[in-house]
A and B are shown apart, each in its own frame.
Chain A
């Protein structure tokens, strides 16, 4: 029986929902069948009294907990040759049977294991043997035994598979080999393996999960980049443009406001600065490149006239935007779902926080003295924190009314303060934006670098607010006296609101600038850029550049000197206070999430921005590695991998929704500019979709319209609601079941205790009796003492 547990469990590992059931099932399956076998053997020769003492001792070991102990002992002690053989056979027999018999009554199982082994064993074919060899590695025995086992399995007689079966097996073997080859190849390819190991050694797995997140984002951006590059950039770079509408000044009214003329006007318009300024602002020579929206035309490229193959760029442009949002959503949801599952398991186990700390607390990856010291300290803190929290909990219940009022007051004050701060920062951004516009207009002839400063004023304002306000937030949150986890969450939430709201204000200011009626001219007002989409693209490009540069600058020119100060003047308390930094995960997460938001929004207006984002993520990895390994010391807080992964994804999802709303609104509502881009004209971009939709065959249109009618939507909603309700009910029932089973297990435990005590008293009685009259008691008495059969619940579920 010993090894079969491991191998058998493996096959059912996927089904996490059944873990309890499984645990319960094994509880019995592992103990009873074997136990009954041994007693029936034992009962066979009950003639002499000595056997009885053995039987009694055996009975004691037979009860659930003892049996487990017995099993474990057997698995690890070196077995004799013969015993090993037997256990192999049993394993073979049991595995094939376990899956089928498992839920049926236990008695069957007992019979199976009582039966002679060869009855079950004589059918192994090549495939089964191969499977067993594959499973050897999952057995908790030492290498010598494993090898022995393998040799035995190999030399054992087996049936050759015939025909199709043989083919199937060969294919399985082939796949297995391919998979392991691929794995070997893949691990070689894996990026940043060494860096991750270093970080792991110093900071533990919680911080590594952040770096894995950065890596994940980089791959996401690579996919987005591939989409935009192959669907938009490449076609418009290599395909030759079709016939453009020519601007004919003579045929126009005096303003030349036809779309073609506006486009001409935009083509001839140049804003020239020097090379460097243009590079950071995306103006001048950069403006009319593939980098920005304005370059792309509303051409329908002809690929092949004979076969009527066309490439509709406007449509492709739109589809690409939708696609990259969709891909991002799927990616986020997929990894968030994984985290969510883990969280549910953890949520169920919130009663296991001490166990989790002690058994899962130590990070086996840590291999640096400093990291280990910190980990010791962190675990110490956590345990103390837990004990403290319990005390606080009781204190909280005993908190006086006055204290409650005080806390409530201070919390509401802090919250108001933070809302005021957010509003002030939003107003500031708006003011700075308008100020920068008016300054730019006023001093058009001023020095170049002044102009550059004016251009960058909004971006700089946003970045500096993003740097300063979080510090203020983390200071304010100390007055609120939340528990550490809540503190992390609430600061994170506030900061993400700050970042998104600053972006929102910028968006709104741009929106005010560009949403106007262009029917009477190429543009509404003179100072509004001819091609506002390019303008937006430039703004986001600038933001991305500023964000990247400040990130690097702050790390190397502010935090690095600080860390050096703290290192070299360790006895000066003031310098230490200024210089020492912790690696605070939430802030760093926000940095990358923010740049990802910029990428999502900006990619529509600047299709090559994802490339920038990829490079940025790549650099971020190294910058943050520097920040982590050299600037900071490990956090005094334990960051749980499961918890933090979920947190990353939640934050990312919030900003994704914000970005999607922003881009979606601009697609559906804002009129594109007349002078440039794939959608030049007077109608919102969404009209392209409507137009292409109108070209589809009528039955598809009819079907799509049907999807929109009440006749379809109402039933769908009802069905979805019902499904939701059903799953909700199932969850509730399962939860209830878990509780019931748990209670039952506890009861069984008590039963066992009770039975054991009964047993020992009876054995004592018997011994006394035997001493008295020296006659062996009847054997049947032991059978009545057997533990009760497992309850019905185990089987029914």
Chain B
């Protein structure tokens, strides 16, 4: 390592450590992964405001092996990107991986999971959102009748206030009872 380039200033690293569940090493690893996506636009040195201005477009983000096969990848990126388009800055990316890391507590995962499943962004998971999730999950193999049947089941199980859709509290309540959620909602980087 003859020509050592400082990627982040000490202060930045310190901030990132306090704001995410990552250690210094992991933050640098995340940066490496991020840079691999688009070496031409992402600089090695990010001591300025590059970390929250330089964006990697959605189609490049989708090539990440960890997300390549994830049916929700588009939605995930658009939830975590600060402008909602799915084009990610480094900080967005770091935030995303921090939430999906093993150390992140349940609550924050639940919060973002809700946002991911809420496709139309109306702060409720309605039948339309559920149908979309199911279609993505089964890669569109269920027929329309089965899909709607399953969706009604979900609403039946979880809808407490009887408005036909899941609010955040209802979602949180259901997720508490889904013991697999915590183990499946994470990505090792």
Whether the pair B142, A752 counts as a contact (CB closer than 8 A) is: no
Separation of A639 and B178 alpha carbons in the complex (Å): 14
User: Counting chain A CB atoms within 10 Å of each CB, which of B24, B146, B169 scores highest?
Assistant: B169
With a CB–CB cut-off of 8 A, which chain B residues contact A700? Answer: none
Residues 114 to 164 of chain B near chain A (Cβ within 8 Å): 114-115, 117, 123-124, 130, 133-134, 137-139, 141-142, 146, 149-150, 153-154, 157-158, 160-163
Whether the pair A351, B149 counts as a contact (CB closer than 8 A) is: no
Residue A85 is within 8 A (CB to CB) of chain B in the complex: no
Q: Assuming A356-B177, A753-B162, is B19 touching A137 (CB within 8 A)?
A: yes
CB distance from A8 to the nearest CB of B (A): 9
With a CB–CB cut-off of 8 A, which chain A residues contact B105? Answer: 10, 13, 138
Which stretch, A296-304, A379-387, A559-567, A665-673, touches the partner chain B?
A: A379-387
Whether the pair B146, A367 counts as a contact (CB closer than 8 A) is: no
Residues 61 to 111 of chain B near chain A (Cβ within 8 Å): 65-72, 82, 91-92, 94-95, 98, 100, 104-108, 111
Separation of A293 and B42 alpha carbons in the complex (Å): 66
Whether the pair B183, A641 counts as a contact (CB closer than 8 A) is: yes
With a CB–CB cut-off of 8 A, which chain A residues contact B167? Answer: 65, 68-69
Separation of A197 and B187 alpha carbons in the complex (Å): 9
With a CB–CB cut-off of 8 A, which chain B residues contact A342? Answer: 179
Interface residues on A, range: 35 or more
With a CB–CB cut-off of 8 A, which chain B residues contact A69? Answer: 123-124, 167-168
- Residue of A64, A343, A349 touching B178 (CB-CB under 8 A): A349
Q: Assuming A138-B105, A387-B149, is B187 touching A753 (CB within 8 A)?
A: no
With a CB–CB cut-off of 8 A, which chain B residues contact A9? Answer: 107
With a CB–CB cut-off of 8 A, which chain B residues contact A349? Answer: 174, 176-178
Residue B25 is within 8 A (CB to CB) of chain A in the complex: yes
CB distance from A7 to the nearest CB of B (A): 9
Whether the pair A142, B183 counts as a contact (CB closer than 8 A) is: no
Whether the pair B187, A364 counts as a contact (CB closer than 8 A) is: yes
CB distance from B162 to the nearest CB of A (A): 5
Which stretch, A593-601, A649-657, A742-750, touches the partner chain B?
A: A742-750
Separation of A358 and B117 alpha carbons in the complex (Å): 10
Residue A642 is within 8 A (CB to CB) of chain B in the complex: yes
Whether the pair B25, A184 counts as a contact (CB closer than 8 A) is: yes
Whether the pair A750, B138 counts as a contact (CB closer than 8 A) is: no
With a CB–CB cut-off of 8 A, which chain A residues contact B21? Answer: 137
- Residue of A356, A365, A387, A746 touching B186 (CB-CB under 8 A): A365
With a CB–CB cut-off of 8 A, which chain B residues contact A200? Answer: 188
Separation of A139 and B20 alpha carbons in the complex (Å): 10
CB distance from B76 to the nearest CB of A (A): 9
Whether the pair A205, B65 counts as a contact (CB closer than 8 A) is: no
Whether the pair B186, A143 counts as a contact (CB closer than 8 A) is: no
With a CB–CB cut-off of 8 A, which chain A residues contact B158? Answer: 352, 355
Separation of A753 and B82 alpha carbons in the complex (Å): 35
Separation of A183 and B20 alpha carbons in the complex (Å): 15
- Residue of B20, B52, B141, B163 touching A65 (CB-CB under 8 A): B163
- Residue of B20, B104, B117, B187 touching A359 (CB-CB under 8 A): B117
Kindly supply a per-residue 1/0 record for chain A positions 399-417, scoring 1 wherever the CB is within 8 Å of any chain B CB and 0 otherwise: 0000000000000000000
Separation of A64 and B177 alpha carbons in the complex (Å): 22
CB distance from B71 to the nearest CB of A (A): 7
CB distance from B96 to the nearest CB of A (A): 10
B12's closest neighbor in chain A, by CB? A147
Residues 110 to 137 of chain A near chain B (Cβ within 8 Å): 133-134, 136-137
Residue B175 is within 8 A (CB to CB) of chain A in the complex: yes
Separation of A78 and B84 alpha carbons in the complex (Å): 12
Whether the pair A348, B177 counts as a contact (CB closer than 8 A) is: yes
CB distance from A261 to the nearest CB of B (A): 63
Whether the pair B142, A383 counts as a contact (CB closer than 8 A) is: yes
Main SS class of interface, B? helix
Q: Please, how many residues of chain B have a CB less than 8 angstroms from a CB on the other chain?
A: 76
A146's closest neighbor in chain B, by CB? B19
CB distance from A279 to the nearest CB of B (A): 41
Q: Assuming A136-B18, A746-B160, is B169 touching A27 (CB within 8 A)?
A: yes
Whether the pair B82, A6 counts as a contact (CB closer than 8 A) is: no
Whether the pair B184, A360 counts as a contact (CB closer than 8 A) is: yes
Whether the pair A6, B178 counts as a contact (CB closer than 8 A) is: no
Kindly supply a per-residue 1/0 record for chain A positions 327-364, scoring 1 wherever the CB is within 8 Å of any chain B CB and 0 otherwise: 00000000000000011011011011111101111111
CB distance from A129 to the nearest CB of B (A): 12
Residue B112 is within 8 A (CB to CB) of chain A in the complex: yes
With a CB–CB cut-off of 8 A, which chain A residues contact B67? Answer: 367
Which stretch, A268-276, A369-377, A612-620, touches the partner chain B?
A: A369-377
Whether the pair A364, B70 counts as a contact (CB closer than 8 A) is: yes
Separation of A387 and B134 alpha carbons in the complex (Å): 14
CB distance from B107 to the nearest CB of A (A): 5
Separation of A360 and B117 alpha carbons in the complex (Å): 11
Whether the pair B130, A358 counts as a contact (CB closer than 8 A) is: yes
Residues 563 to 583 of chain A near chain B (Cβ within 8 Å): none
Separation of A354 and B166 alpha carbons in the complex (Å): 14
Residue B15 is within 8 A (CB to CB) of chain A in the complex: yes
Residue B180 is within 8 A (CB to CB) of chain A in the complex: yes
Whether the pair B161, A359 counts as a contact (CB closer than 8 A) is: no
Residue B113 is within 8 A (CB to CB) of chain A in the complex: yes
Whether the pair A361, B18 counts as a contact (CB closer than 8 A) is: no
- Residue of A5, A68, A354, A749 touching B157 (CB-CB under 8 A): A354
Whether the pair B178, A352 counts as a contact (CB closer than 8 A) is: yes
Separation of A349 and B167 alpha carbons in the complex (Å): 18
Separation of A46 and B71 alpha carbons in the complex (Å): 51
Whether the pair B91, A143 counts as a contact (CB closer than 8 A) is: yes
CB distance from B75 to the nearest CB of A (A): 12
Whether the pair B185, A360 counts as a contact (CB closer than 8 A) is: yes
- Residue of A137, A363, A753 touching B184 (CB-CB under 8 A): A363
Residue A797 is within 8 A (CB to CB) of chain B in the complex: no
Whether the pair A380, B186 counts as a contact (CB closer than 8 A) is: no
Kindly supply a per-residue 1/0 record for chain B positions 36-52, scoring 1 wherever the CB is within 8 Å of any chain A CB and 0 otherwise: 00000000000000001
Residue A62 is within 8 A (CB to CB) of chain B in the complex: no
Separation of A376 and B69 alpha carbons in the complex (Å): 10
A7's closest neighbor in chain B, by CB? B107
Whether the pair B154, A358 counts as a contact (CB closer than 8 A) is: yes
CB distance from B89 to the nearest CB of A (A): 8
Residue B23 is within 8 A (CB to CB) of chain A in the complex: yes
CB distance from A13 to the nearest CB of B (A): 7
Whether the pair B163, A362 counts as a contact (CB closer than 8 A) is: no
With a CB–CB cut-off of 8 A, which chain A residues contact B112? Answer: 140
Separation of A184 and B29 alpha carbons in the complex (Å): 13
With a CB–CB cut-off of 8 A, which chain B residues contact A19? Answer: 173, 176
Separation of A442 and B127 alpha carbons in the complex (Å): 78
Contacts A/B (CB < 8 Å), 21 sampled: A69-B123, A76-B115, A78-B82, A137-B21, A140-B112, A142-B95, A143-B91, A184-B23, A184-B24, A355-B175, A356-B177, A358-B130, A359-B113, A360-B180, A362-B184, A373-B139, A383-B134, A746-B162, A748-B161, A749-B160, A750-B162
Nearest 7 pairs of A and B residues by beta carbon: A749-B161, A349-B177, A372-B69, A143-B91, A69-B123, A360-B181, A642-B179
Chain A interface residues toward B at CB < 8 A: 5-6, 9-10, 13, 19-20, 23, 26-27, 64-65, 68-69, 71-73, 76, 78, 133-134, 136-140, 142-144, 146-147, 150, 180, 183-184, 193, 197, 200, 204-205, 342-343, 345-346, 348-349, 351-356, 358-369, 371-373, 376-377, 379-380, 383-384, 386-387, 640-642, 742, 745-746, 748-750, 752-753
12 A-B pairs besides A137-B98, A362-B184 with CB distance below 8 A are: A64-B161, A78-B82, A144-B52, A147-B15, A352-B158, A352-B177, A365-B188, A369-B69, A376-B137, A379-B137, A383-B142, A750-B161
